[in-house]
Amino acid sequence: RELAAGLRRALRDGEFTLHYQPVVRLADGRITAAEALLRWNPPDGDPVPPGVFVPVAEATGLIVPIGWWVLGRACAEAREWHEREGVSVTVNVAAHQLREPDFVDRVRAALADSGLPPSALVLELTESTLVADAESTARLDVLRGQGVRIAIDDFGTGYSSLAYLVHLPVDVLKIDRTFLATAVDTPLMRAILQLADGLELQTVAEGVETEAQAATLRTLGCSYAQGYLFSRPVPPADLAAMLGRLE
């Protein structure tokens, strides 16, 4: 309860910031996108990790207003990177947010207000959020019609059958980092990449920490990767500097 009050205050007083983790194209190492990740620095204490406060925000419904703040901020910060470097931004969307009746209008407004083109925005949703209901699926399809892309976050950690993938409004699979915990070249990883290829979905491997993992993923046909090998999540100025250095 105390944490919930803290979150309400954080939103009101501007205590949230975003960090960005690069998504890298394995073929040439270019940064093609960045994932916006929420950070909370209370003025009167230590930073609170998102693993602690995001579940509370979800349980209290505060994730809805916080999520809209994240989307607006991420679009605004990404606009310049997109104009200069063609980089997209990916934003996590919670189940509660997707269920809001004005979801489509809110996303459109964030794009219009920031001047970021729809094609530069990727919305990340988990499997369970996506599978839930036909109404939400229809909402996402409206946005896709305008060029926004949809990614399944933490792919492979849900319990749903793979058959549902064919019916979901999805463009990108983000393969959960638990798949890299042991060997990278496993029958399961090959199956996921083959499935993605057959469905013409882009693939992003999450949690890549070593050159060897990146090399194996490249060989297996995974197109993109994200992880500490390339960069931790960093403040926006650091991402801008990283992008500038590529020129």
Site for ligand G, rule CB under 6 A: 21, 37-38, 49-51, 54, 63, 67, 70, 92, 94, 153-154, 177, 206-209, 227-228, 233
Task: Give the three-state DSSP class for 34.
Answer: strand
Residue 107: Cβ-neighbour burial (10 angstroms; 0-12, 13-18, 19+): buried
| Residue that is written with structure tokens 């940064």 in the block | 31
Q: Please choose which of Mn ion, Na ion, ligand G, none residue 67 contacts, taking the beta carbon within 5 to 8 angstroms, the exact cut-off set by kind.
A: ligand G
Regarding 153 and contact with Mn ion (CB under 5 A), the answer is: yes
**Phi, psi for residue 163 in degrees, rounded to 5:** -60, -30
Q: Please choose which of Mn ion, Na ion, ligand G, none residue 165 contacts, taking the beta carbon within 5 to 8 angstroms, the exact cut-off set by kind.
A: none
- For residues 70 and 168, which CB has a smaller minimum distance to ligand G in the complex? 70
Regarding 127 and contact with Na ion (CB under 5 A), the answer is: no
- For residues 62 and 166, which CB has a smaller minimum distance to ligand G in the complex? 62
Regarding 35 and contact with Na ion (CB under 5 A), the answer is: no
- Give the integer Cα–Cα distance in Å for 222 and 23: 13
Structure tokens at 106: 């809110």
- For residues 72 and 207, which CB has a smaller minimum distance to ligand G in the complex? 207
- Give the integer Cα–Cα distance in Å for 162 and 18: 33
> How far, in Å, are 79, 94, 131, 174, 199 from residue 127 at the CA level?
28, 11, 6, 11, 16
**Residue with smallest beta-carbon separation from Mn ion:** 153
Kindly indicate which of the ranges 84-92, 93-101, 136-144, 231-239 contains the residues binding Mn ion, using the contact rule CB under 5 A: 84-92
Question: Looking at 100, 154, 171, 238, which residue binds Na ion (CB under 5 A)?
Answer: 154
The residues binding Mn ion (CB under 5 A) are 92, 124, 153
